[in-house]
């Protein structure tokens, strides 16, 4: 996405950036890529969820892939430039494949955890306490 934004804004004069609603972005970042949401909220590592539980983490991964796919579909629906739509379609399909692979991983983990002799090693949180 950063590459697409860079290609679409490369060389665009400041006045046009401002007229198109990108004045604040341009004032802070010029033509540099700064990951933000459509609402202008900066990317944060808080978007990446991890609990250390394989089931919870894989379900979170599945949800993230579906959200990304939906975002790409929304962008495709708003666009009429084939040079932008084609990479967006590729990215959307990649999210579908990721979703399928995470689903397969979830099935494997669930089957493994259902086995009678399944041992899950957890770090001993009391190791340094007496």
Q: Is the pLDDT of residue 123 over 90?
A: no
Which single residue is written with the structure tokens 């609402």?
A: 39
User: What burial class does residue 24 get, using C-beta atoms within 10 Å of its C-beta: 0-12 exposed, 13-18 middle, 19+ buried?
Assistant: exposed
The answer to the question of residue 120 being in a domain is: no
Confidence at residue 71, expressed as pLDDT on a 0 to 100 scale: 94
For 59-87, the pLDDT digits (tens) are 999 999 999 999 999 999 999 999 999 99
* Mean pLDDT lowest among 25-34, 46-55, 97-106, 114-123: 114-123
The Cα–Cα gap between 97 and 103 comes to: 10
Which single residue is written with the structure tokens 């579906």?
A: 66
Structurally, how many domains does the chain consist of? Answer: 2
The answer to the question of residue 126 being in a domain is: no
The Cα–Cα gap between 25 and 22 comes to: 5
Structural domain boundaries, residue 30:
1-48
Confidence at residue 97, expressed as pLDDT on a 0 to 100 scale: 98
Q: Is the pLDDT of residue 54 over 60?
A: yes
Confidence at residue 3, expressed as pLDDT on a 0 to 100 scale: 87
Confidence at residue 38, expressed as pLDDT on a 0 to 100 scale: 81
Q: Are residues 33 and 58 in the same domain?
A: no
Q: Are residues 10 and 65 in the same domain?
A: no
H-helix or E-strand spanning residue 25: helix 23-29
The answer to the question of residue 102 being in a domain is: yes
Q: Are residues 3 and 25 in the same domain?
A: yes
User: What burial class does residue 7 get, using C-beta atoms within 10 Å of its C-beta: 0-12 exposed, 13-18 middle, 19+ buried?
Assistant: exposed
Residues placed in the known binding site: 65, 98
Could you tell me the sign of the dihedral formed by the alpha carbons of 69, 70, 74, 75, in that order? negative
Residues placed in the known binding site for Mn(2+): 65, 98
Q: Are residues 58 and 91 in the same domain?
A: yes
Percent of the chain with pLDDT over 90: 54
Classified as helix, coil or strand, 36 is strand
Q: Are residues 108 and 63 in the same domain?
A: yes
Classified as helix, coil or strand, 42 is strand
Looking at residue 60, what DSSP letter applies?
A: H
Q: Are residues 80 and 103 in the same domain?
A: yes
């Amino acid at each position: 996405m950063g590459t697409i934004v860079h290609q679409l804004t490369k060389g665009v004069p400041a006045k046009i950036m401002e007229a198109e609603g990108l004045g604040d972005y341009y004032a802070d970042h010029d033509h540099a890529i700064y990951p933000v949401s459509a609402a202008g909220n900066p990317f944060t590592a808080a978007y990446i969820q991890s609990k250390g539980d394989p089931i919870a983490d894989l379900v979170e991964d599945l949800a993230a892939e579906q959200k990304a796919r939906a975002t790409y579909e929304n962008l495709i629906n708003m666009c009429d430039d084939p040079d932008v739509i084609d990479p967006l379609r590729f990215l959307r399909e990649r999210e579908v494949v990721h979703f399928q692979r995470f689903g397969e991983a979830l099935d494997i983990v669930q089957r493994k955890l259902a086995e009678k002799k399944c041992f899950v090693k957890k770090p001993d949180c009391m190791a340094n306490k007496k």
